[in-house]
Structure 1
Amino acid sequence: MSSFHLQFLLSITIILLGYLLKRTHLVKEADGEAIARIVFNVTLPCVIIVTFSGVEFDLRLLWLVLIGLGFGLFNWLVAFFVFRHKAPRTKGTFMMMVPGLNIGLFAYPLVEGLWGFEGLKYFGMLDVGNAFIVFGLTFLIAAYYAGGKGTVDIRTIFTRVFRSVPLVTYLIMFILNIINLSLPEILVDTASVISSANMPLSLLLLGIYLNFSMKREHVLQLSTFLLTKYGIGITASILCYFFVPIDGLFLYTLIIGFILPTPTSVVPYAVMFKYDKKLVGTASNLTILISFVLIWITTTFIL
């Protein structure tokens, strides 16, 4: 069995373990919040530190930052057009789920298993641009259509964006890399030990959060959302495969990155601004399954 098929099977096994732990009540879904905080604030920043410590900066990596930002903005414009005639809260629910990509929690464990830290370097740069979409634009959309349930002032947005530990870590490592400064070796070694927990914890968390209950009246709305998100993503991936002249990990990052699922941060936004949390959670989980299958098929084809 090839290494990437083995990696996908291992990933599925760990996700199923997380789901079984929840179903057997050994772990509660509420426990996932604590695991998520550890992943986002501890293990993922350590992965970023280790990944970027050995990065030699070149112009192609900067392009990935701009592409991550531009792709999110394009998705937002398409979602605005598709859902323009819906009620404000329905519009806000689905518009906040289309633009962003779940790179830190979903892509990182798969990429680490397939390409190691070299692959994480490329996806990390894509996630720098994506982070401004996830923690900035998506938050703004959720607040704007919440019908007065939240605030939308610029200060609140910037405060929230720059309170994101992964984003701040990205920016610090990015700046240190450009000015050719290195972190102390003891710090990098410590981060390396902690970063090894990121992949299993992230995959367990995906399993704990799996939930697919939905109301009949939401089926059409969910179908429209999924067609919009994956219509854009699959089209962009195909265009990249045939027309992007750069081969290797840069191309693989774009092809796989464009079909990643909705970021899990939309669930806290749904809670914060009083959206339908079950609907948002179900939509997010569906994208996880769809993206998993699409990436498995894609990597089988391109590798």
Structure 2
Amino acid sequence: MLFQAGALLLAILGTYALKHLHVFGERDYRVAQGLVFNLTLPCAIMLSFATNRHDMRMLWIVLFGFFACAVPLFVVFVGSRGDERNYRAFQMLNASGLNLGAFCLPVVQTFMGASAGLPIIMLDIGNATVATAGSLTITRTLLHMDGSFRSLPLRLRLRNIARDFLGSISFDMYMLMLILMFAHVTIPQPIITLITPFANANAFCAMAMIGLMMEVPDSRKDRMELVRVIVWRAVFGVLIAIAAWFLLPFDMRIREIIVLGAFAPITIFSTKFTDSLTGNAKLAGFSLTVTAVLSLVVMTALHAALPGV
């Protein structure tokens, strides 16, 4: 298990080193983003649905994921009062939401096998309803950072929000698999064979993307804000993990998977939204990398300690 975690960490640090050796450029992380969000992650989602039994009780995990993402957003809004508006936006966007599909899914599947992916995907369906677009809308509305968006007619605002959701291939794949689950439709074996190599590449591509995004911010204020976000996420992670372990009606294996998911790092969408609202791309990328490394350490320790099998 330590070698598995070390291999994932090596993928992050190795691509970061190659960037500083000028093998990759500063913006090359966008290539990795394109691969993960438009190819490897959708294939990993489909493969997990195709190769695991679908228990309708898993819908409780979807609901749990929604509240696990939405509640921290409003708690941080209240708790960050008194800080500068841009940094409040940074805290709200980065202290809430779980990086499940692009980070936790490959990590958990590395630790516990392909069958461990389905609970993470169900958790991410609920999480993604807020993290993929809702958190941006809520943050800029509560902090009065709407700009031109606020002046648009309601119809256009709703259309823009819908485009944010439906423009994500990963989110679309989640919804499609959920529909197939309700309809009891089985994915044909030739399709499973076709997507398997891409799904298997998701772990490396996701870690490489994080390594390519990493860059240390210069400002002391930026670093202090990151510390605040880490503290927020640690508190929320503990609370979400306790709730998952004691409240969810599943066996220990599934509850362990959800507990691991509670300590997932900052989402890719949060880094994108932070950049668009505050213009601080360096802080956004570094925050994702730091929380990804911390999450990998915590998830490895929890997997060794918890009694799930």
- Same fold flag (TM > 0.5): yes
TM-score, scaled relative to structure 2? 0.89
Taking the aligned partners of 2:39 and 2:59, their CA distance within structure 1 comes to 25
The residue number in structure 2 matching 1:228 is 232
Distance 1:150 1:101, change over 3 A: farther
Residue equivalent to 2:98 = 101
> What TM-score comes out, normalization by structure 1 length?
0.91
Residue 157 of structure 1: aligned partner: 161
- Aligned residue-pair number: 300
The answer to which of 215-224 and 168-177 deviates more is 215-224
Q: Is the 8 A contact 1:92 1:146 kept in 2?
A: no
Instruction: Give 2:4's aligned residue.
Output: 7
1-structure distance, mates of 2:53, 2:250: 18
- One-letter amino acid of the counterpart of residue 84, structure 2: A
User: Counterpart of 2:145?
Assistant: 147
Change (3 A) 1:104 1:182: same
How many angstroms does 1:244 deviate by?
5.3
AA of the residue aligned to 1:38? L
CA root-mean-square deviation: 2.1
Which of 176, 180, 183 lines up with 1:179 in the alignment?
Answer: 183
Q: What is the distance in 1 between the residues matched to 2:148 and 2:106?
A: 34
Counterparts of 1:232 and 1:54 in 2: how far apart (Å)? 32
| Contact kept? 2:275, 2:281, Cα under 8 Å | yes
Identity of aligned residues (%): 23
More off after superposition, 158-167 vs 137-146: 137-146
**Any idea what the Cα deviations from partners look like across 1:61-84, whole Å, max 9, x if unmatched?**
111111100111111121112113
Residues 235-263 of structure 1, C-alpha deviations (whole Å, 9 max, x = no match) = 33245446656433321122111111110
| Aligned partner of residue 207 in structure 2, secondary structure | helix
Cα-to-partner distance string for 1:174-195 (whole Å, 9 max, x where unaligned): 1112111123332222111221
Q: Judging changes above 3 Å, is the alpha-carbon distance between structure 1 residues 59 and 181 closer, same or farther for their aligned structure 2 residues?
A: closer
Letter in 2 for 1:230: A
CA contact (8 A) 2:86 2:278 kept: no
CA 1:34/1:146 → structure 2, altered by over 3 Å: closer, same or farther? farther
Deviation string 1:93-127 (CA, Å, 9 cap, x unpaired) is 21111221111121122112112221011111111
CA distance in 1, matches of 2:292, 2:13: 13
Alpha-carbon distance between aligned partners in 2 of 1:87 and 1:47, rounded to the nearest angstrom: 39
Counterpart-to-counterpart distance in 1, 2:286 and 2:6: 23
| Greater shift in the superposed pair: 14-23 or 37-46 | 14-23
Unaligned runs of 5+ in 1: none
Aligned equivalent of 1:50 = 47
Moved more, 7-16 or 160-169: 7-16
